[in-house]
Chains A and B, each alone.
Chain A
Amino acid sequence: MDQITFIEKSLRLRYEVFSRFATEVNRAETIEAAGVAIASNLKFILDTYIFRFTYINEQNRLTYELFRAAHTWKTNQIDMVTPFEMRCQHTEIPLKFTKSDIADNPILNDSIFANEKVILLFVLPLQFTNNQQSVIMIASKNPVGYHEVDFRFVKLIGELLTTKISQLLLMEKIGSKNKELESAYADISVRNSEIVLQQKKLLQQSLELRKANFEIKALNTGLEKTVEERTKSLKEANHELNTLFYRTSHDFLRPLRSIVGLTNLAAINTSDEQNLQIFSHINKSVNELEKMLVKLQMISFAEQEVSVRSEINFPDIIESLYTKFKVELKKKEMDFKREIHLKSPFYADPYLITVILENLIENAINFSQNRQSFIKIVISESKKSCCIKVTDNGQGIKKEFQPKIFDMYFRGNESSAGNGLGLYVIKKLVQKQKGEISFKSSLGKGSEFQIRIP
């Protein structure tokens, strides 16, 4: 067998292991697994006392070292050998260093390659596409050194490892991206779940609101119906009460007048002063009671919806009232003044106007003072309304009582001659005609009431 044939044939032993090595490297899913494959097989392919392999690309620098079956991986780390390795990387040609060369090189002399058993060191820079490079350093303790075929294996190993690391880094990058995507997907899923939950809550709340609205509507409908029914029954009750009130007031008047008649008759038939005095008191009390009943009738009348409108004849009304109060006026020596300045006819309920004026005149008489007292009635018109002004120079109203004078049964003091209904009745009747009443009063000087009726 000649030398060439023998070399080729013996190489088959190494190719057999290289094939297994390549299979294990290709199957490796991690950098570490690839490292184990190198450590397991390299000794059967090549005489290497120390093996160092560095992979370099734009972002990464990975260094593998194998010595006495122990291996290490360094990722993006600069060690003692790195500067030397970088220099060799740029030369891009295989370099050979003898034991003395190693001793003379300050970097190598401080490195693992300064091991006493190392006889030769070979550095093989490999350039690949896509800015990928690798540098292989193999130290041998065999003085024979390496043959050309050995370098073929070294190159094959370098190419295989470079391809594998590049693939693993890419896988790592993809894995990292996948993790980011998975994380983002998980976040989105969580958000989605939250949104779905919120939607469910909102839907639930919406259903509850609808239900509540429905219940409120039902309640409202019930309430409206109830209010309507109550209002109706209240109106009916009020109407019945008014009717009862009016009828009662009216019915009371007749026996009262009988009492007055009977008292007068009894007074004619007696000359006893004491009895006459009693009859006089009875008459006075009955008169007061009658006045009160008339006013209560007026209140009842004011509550009723019916009203008659006709042209108001103020001169006649005032004259009739003057006639009615003539005795009291004369008794109190009161001057009764009247002024009527109407240019056009005024329409309203004559009865109500009469009652309003009657009560104002009665009040003025009741609260007059004993010094040149007067009542002045002025009828005028302004802005499509009729203005009735009744002025006196009577006692006037205390300031603190002024806000209450239109209240029912309000009396300035216990000795007041009135029954506390007069101003209340006036206000009711003015309101019934959609009018307004105001007053000015000064204690001890008199009062002025002004009524505007449209």
Chain B
Amino acid sequence: MLNSRFRIVEYPEANQEVKSIYDDTMKQMGIPFVLNWFKCQGSNPILLKGNWEKLRSTMLIGKIPFILKQLIIYNISQKKGCNYCTHAHGIMADSLSKTLCDDEGFKVTESMQSDYIPASYKAAIRIVTKCALRPLSTTEEDFEELREEGFSEHDIQELMALADLTNMLNTIADISGIKIDNELMETK
């Protein structure tokens, strides 16, 4: 069975430019291996470079807490049925839970409806997920609700960029047919 419809370029096979991008992904995401999502784009350094830059700018940098971003990507991916991204970002979010809590049973992805979690998290996950799944259904009320929760215009743009990013992540993962990384499976 093929691992991907796109050619998977493993690290040793990659050219110097691609290796350099692979190194950057590991360093900035804090993981010791290259995700299949990147490897399936390794034969096209130009696309790889552009998509990595988009992922980095939207997911890794900004004012919105990283864990909230992971929860939003996880939620959208789950709703869209993207197995790769649901697994990958669910694991990332829950692994963050472990940094928050020593309890083996605690998963932040399952605890978001609690009263103890500020309403801003819940509103952001709900509205950005809706906009990612059905962009045309986006309303002024969605934006107004985010403002009421204390999100600035800058914050809202950063949140909505996650809808766009997740669609791209899901699309590439689903089209390429990449399998969940063995390393992530081990974590799971």
Interface residues of A (CB under 8 A from B): 1, 5-7, 9-17, 20, 39-40, 42-49, 66, 68-70, 117, 141-142, 144, 147, 149
B135 within 8 A of A: no
Say yes or no: A5 contacts B111, CB within 8 Å.
no
* A residues less than 8 Å from B63 (CB atoms): 40
Say yes or no: B116 contacts A68, CB within 8 Å.
no
Say yes or no: A141 contacts B114, CB within 8 Å.
no
Given A46-B118, A47-B118, A142-B119, check contact A13 B100 (CB 8 Å). yes
9-residue interface stretch from B10-18, B20-28, B145-153: B145-153
- A68 to B151: give the CA distance in the assembly, Å: 7
User: Digit string of B146-170 for contact with A (CB within 8 Å is 1, else 0)?
Assistant: 0111111101000000000000000
How distant is A84 from chain B, measured CB to nearest CB, in Å? Answer: 23
B115 within 8 A of A: yes
How distant is A429 from chain B, measured CB to nearest CB, in Å? Answer: 124
- A14 to B117: give the CA distance in the assembly, Å: 8
Say yes or no: B67 contacts A13, CB within 8 Å.
yes
Say yes or no: B111 contacts A6, CB within 8 Å.
yes
9-residue interface stretch from B1-9, B84-92, B102-110, B171-179: B102-110
B65 within 8 A of A: yes
Chain A contact surface mostly: helix
Say yes or no: B150 contacts A43, CB within 8 Å.
yes
- A281 to B166: give the CA distance in the assembly, Å: 159
B51 within 8 A of A: no
How distant is A28 from chain B, measured CB to nearest CB, in Å? Answer: 15
Known contacts A16-B65, A43-B120, A149-B116; 14 further A-B pairs (Cβ under 8 A)? A5-B106, A6-B114, A6-B116, A10-B111, A10-B116, A11-B116, A14-B117, A20-B65, A43-B151, A45-B118, A47-B118, A49-B148, A68-B147, A69-B153
B33 within 8 A of A: no
How distant is A11 from chain B, measured CB to nearest CB, in Å? Answer: 6
How distant is A142 from chain B, measured CB to nearest CB, in Å? Answer: 6
Q: Offer 14 A-B interface pairs, CB within 8 angstroms, sorted by A.
A: A1-B103, A1-B106, A6-B111, A7-B114, A10-B117, A12-B100, A20-B65, A43-B149, A43-B150, A47-B119, A49-B148, A68-B148, A68-B150, A147-B116
How distant is B121 from chain A, measured CB to nearest CB, in Å? Answer: 7
* B residues less than 8 Å from A46 (CB atoms): 118
Say yes or no: A9 contacts B101, CB within 8 Å.
yes
- A294 to B103: give the CA distance in the assembly, Å: 153
* B residues less than 8 Å from A144 (CB atoms): 115
How distant is A411 from chain B, measured CB to nearest CB, in Å? Answer: 124
How distant is A9 from chain B, measured CB to nearest CB, in Å? Answer: 4
Say yes or no: A39 contacts B148, CB within 8 Å.
no
- A72 to B110: give the CA distance in the assembly, Å: 37
Say yes or no: B152 contacts A9, CB within 8 Å.
no
* A residues less than 8 Å from B108 (CB atoms): 10, 13
* B residues less than 8 Å from A12 (CB atoms): 100-101
* A residues less than 8 Å from B100 (CB atoms): 9, 12-13, 15-16
